[in-house]
Amino acid sequence: MLKTTHADIHFNDQHTPISAQFDDVYFSNQDGLAESRYVFQQGNRLWERWLTHSSSHFVIAETGFGTGLNFFAVTALFRQFRQTHPQSPLTRLYFLSFEKYPMTLEQLYAAHQAFEEFAELSAQLRQMWLEPIVGCYRFHFAETTLDLWFGDIHENLPQLGDYMQNRIDAWFLDGFSPAKNPQMWTDELYQNMYRYTKPQGSFATFTAASAVRKGLENAGFQVEKRQGYGQKRECLCGVKSADSPPHAVTPWYLPQAAEFNGCADVAVIGGGIASLFTALSLLKRGANVTVYCGDEQPALNASGNKQGAFYPQLSDDDIRNIRFYIYAFAYGKQQLHAAEALGIEFEHQFCGVALCAYNEKSAAKLDKIAAYDWHESLYQTQNQQQLSDIVGLPLPCGGGFIPQGAWLAPRQFVQNLFIYLQKCGVKLKTLQKITALHQTERHWQLINAQGDSFSHQVVVLANGHQLNRFTQTEALPLYAVRGQVSQIPTTENLRKLKTVLCYDGYLTPVDEAKTSHCIGASHLRDNETRHFSSQEQAENQQKIQSNLAAVDWVKEVDTSGNLARIGVRCAVRDRIPLVGNVPNFTQQREDYRNLFNLRRRKQTIPTAANYRNLYLIGALGSRGLTSAPLLGETLASLIYGEPLPLSEDLIHQLAPNRSWLRKQLKGTKV
């Protein structure tokens, strides 16, 4: 079940929201904000701990997001701390919140009217609010990052995974009262809390129920009572005093953070959209970033088309892949709007994407998408007339519509955002084809085609179809895909096209100059050539004219001007990207040659052998515009040892060593 259920609420005479699901208030009738500050901020001694905190980030986890009041209050407190202590090493706050019944936008607005001091934060949250599926969504509020986990906490909390063991600094144990919501307050919750809490990490909660106290003590926390807020006699707080060694359930997939002192010095190899968003996320964390681009400019390969479509892949056979692209689409929209706000110039239009059921196979595919019963903000089934009206041109079929989809100019976007990043301190070195990597005790040496050497603490490989050209990556099962995109002149009819149109190819609306469209793309596996092909040019035209043959306007599609652009994408067989540590294939093959039996016998299994401080992001295929923002953010989070914006099952799905681990887990030789 991927759909979430909205909160059912009403407001009492004190304008306090009350949950119909739990017959309980969201916060105190007396003063919800004062209660939040007393119970959670003071109960966890946040300010005192921040004063002596030596790490660059602090992680708070919360059970029950509700109206977002606790988040607003602690974000405001952290901003106050940063203003009064600008030299503190603590610069970033992570707030992980679990919510089973999210409010609607209208409910949020009504609930937030009581807290005028948070008007700016409230407006920002509502601007980013969405109709979520179950899982994690990341939202940025300057120095504070909010990870909202929608769905049942007993399903989502374990998805923090092995990686988050001993990484949470403080818990806001909120949610509705144990008497009204016993399904949440369980031993399983307390045990997972203990697993993820740092030694000397803390919790605070409004309740003093004996079952809660005993459950937390049994999990390993030291618990104490303190005076309750308002009319409540007591509440609880406590710490994890023991230093519990982490135990990985799946050590073969365990993500490993980078090792560095002070400011991270990171090299990113590649000049496309993957390297762009990785550099952007690293820059936000204060890293010293150098990008090595093999061409004279960024975005001259797979990221260099004049127009490209931005929308989630909803038709995969693996639901994990679909979920990843939905989360990536949501995060990507946030990043595109952030670029707009920065004044980055790039042609784009949030016009929606229409998917045509042009034959039996495509119709069955769209029926499968519709069977998931997505919210209409994500996907809509349309009949022939409805889809024709949306598109602006007659169609011979119905299909589906992704209303928040878009097109943008990838090359313009990447190049202009790189210019902005350079102004912010990112170093861009062009005509630097890195051909070899050598690891020393503390650094990586990058060797270019001319034999020059560069030294960096951390290296990220983001160089597309050439990603497996290094000794360290040659075992990765990547392949190149050549794609030729045709540029066609517009006509009076074609200018009526209002959305991106997908069939066995795609056609974009007219560009901002009102002169041309993009159509494509060819797909030639294991082909890295970059020459113009008249055959592929003709095939791009033939596809739309045969798929949509029953309508006359497709005859106006004319590729004979031979305007086209050729790029080479990087792909893998299971159609989802790779991101994470670069695995040491030789060592992992040896360590896990008997993995099937080691698991069956419950014997000790070593953590995956990876190259220290070497990472990759690749195999984005034809979905780079959608996936790159979230992948870059995930990788930067991993490098810094911060919470990851994806569930553990998706981190496993994206793992660079997955292809051979799947075999070894089955007892098959690699």
- Span 356-364, average pLDDT: 96
Q: Is residue 306 part of a domain?
A: no
* Structural domain that includes position 549: 353-403+479-571
- The pTM of this model reads 0.96
For helices 273-284 and 410-423, the axis angle rounded to 10 degrees is: 30
> 19 has which bridge partners?
9, 24
| CATH code for the domain of 143 | 3.40.50.150
Count Cβ neighbours within 10 Å for each residue of 8-23 and write b for 16 or more, e otherwise. Answer: ebeeeeeebbbbeebe
Give first-to-last CA distance, the chain, whole Å.
Answer: 35
Q: Which residues of 306-320 are buried (b: 16+ CB within 10 A; e: fewer)?
A: bbbbbbbbbebeeee
* pLDDT for res 498: 98
Confidence of residue 43 (pLDDT cuts 50, 70, 90): very high
Whether residues 644 and 585 fall in one domain:
yes
DSSP string, 382-419: E-HHHHHHHHTS--SS-EEEETT-EEE-HHHHHHHHHH
pLDDT over 80 (residue 28): no
**Alpha-carbon distance values, 583 to 249, 373, 456, 604 (Å):** 18, 38, 19, 20
Q: Is residue 324 part of a domain?
A: no
Residues 590 and 565 grouped into a single domain? no
The CATH number that applies at residue 490 is 3.30.9.10
pLDDT of residue 175: 77
Q: Look at residues 548, 571, 594 and tell me which one is the last residue of a structural domain.
A: 571
Mark whether 474 and 485 lie in a shared domain.
Answer: no
Last residue of a domain, one of 509, 538, 571: 571
Same domain, 140 and 197: yes
**β-strand 17-19 against 308-310: which pairing, if any?**
unpaired
Asked whether residue 467 carries a pLDDT value surpassing 80, the answer given is yes
What is the mean pLDDT of the segment spanning 78-100? 97
Q: Are residues 459 and 394 in the same domain?
A: no
Are residues 359 and 425 part of one domain? no
pLDDT of residue 233 exceeding 70, the answer is yes
Mean pLDDT computed over 310-335: 95
Please give the pLDDT value at position 274. 97
Q: In this structure, is residue 443 part of a structural domain? A: yes
Per-residue pLDDT averaged across 245-249, rounded? 91
The sheet carrying 453-456 orders its strands as: 434-439, 444-448, 453-456
Q: How many CB atoms lie within 10 A of CB 472?
A: 22
Assess whether 211 and 269 both reside in one domain: no
Provide the CATH number for the domain around residue 458. 3.50.50.60
- pLDDT score recorded for residue 242: 86
Range in 105-119, 425-439, 499-513 with the lowest mean pLDDT? 105-119
Question: 289 and 227: one domain?
Answer: no
Rounded Cα distance, 63 and 98, in Å? 5
Region for residue 149 given its phi and psi (left: phi exceeds 0; alpha: psi -120 to 50; beta: otherwise): beta
d(CA 5, CA 592): 42
In a shared domain, residues 490 and 386: yes
**Domain-located, residue 319:** no
Answer yes or no: are the C-beta atoms of 293 and 504 closer than 8 Å: no
What's the average model confidence in pLDDT over 397-422?
A: 97
Confidence of residue 12 (pLDDT cuts 50, 70, 90): confident
In this prediction, residue 185 has a pLDDT band, given cuts at 50, 70 and 90, of very high
Residue 231 has what pLDDT?
81
pLDDT tens-digit map of 588-603: 999 999 999 999 999 9
The percent of residues above 70 in pLDDT, for the chain, comes to 99
| Inter-CA distances, 287 with 267, 275, 299, 425, Å | 10, 14, 22, 10
Across 125-133, average pLDDT: 95
Mean pLDDT of the residues in the chain = 95
318 occurs within a structural domain: no
Give the pLDDT of residue 32: 85
Compute the distance between CA of residue 53 and CA of residue 46 in angstroms, rounded to an integer.
10
User: What pLDDT, on the 0 to 100 scale, is given for residue 176?
Assistant: 75
463 shares its domain with 600 = yes
Q: How far is residue 349's CA from residue 404's CA, in Å, rounded to a whole number?
A: 10
In a domain, 334, yes or no: no
Q: Check pLDDT > 80 for residue 115.
A: yes
Non-local CB neighbours of 551 within 8 Å, separated by 6+ positions? 393, 394, 395, 396
The DSSP line for 606-653 is PPP-EEEEEEEEE--TT-HHHHHHHHHHHHHHHHTTPPPSS-HHHHHH
What total of structural domains would you count in the chain? 3
Would you state the pLDDT for residue 44? 98
Q: Are residues 26 and 133 in the same domain?
A: yes
422-438: average pLDDT: 97
Angle, helix 624-639 to helix 273-284, in steps of 10 degrees = 40
CB 478 within 8 A of CB 533: no
Residue finishing a domain among 571, 606, 639: 571
Within-domain flag for 321: no
CA 222 vs. chain centroid, Å, equals: 35
Residue 41 lies in a domain: yes
Q: Is residue 81 a contact partner of residue 52, using CB atoms and an 8 Å limit? A: no
| CB neighbour list of residue 258: distance below 8 Å, 6 or more residues apart | 264, 457, 458, 613, 615, 638, 639, 640, 641
pLDDT of residue 29: 60
Per residue in 609-628, pLDDT tens?
999 999 999 999 999 999 99
Counting every residue written for the chain, the total comes to: 670
445 and 526 together in one domain: no
The values of phi and psi at residue 474, to 5°, are -65, -20
Structure tokens at 28: 């105190």
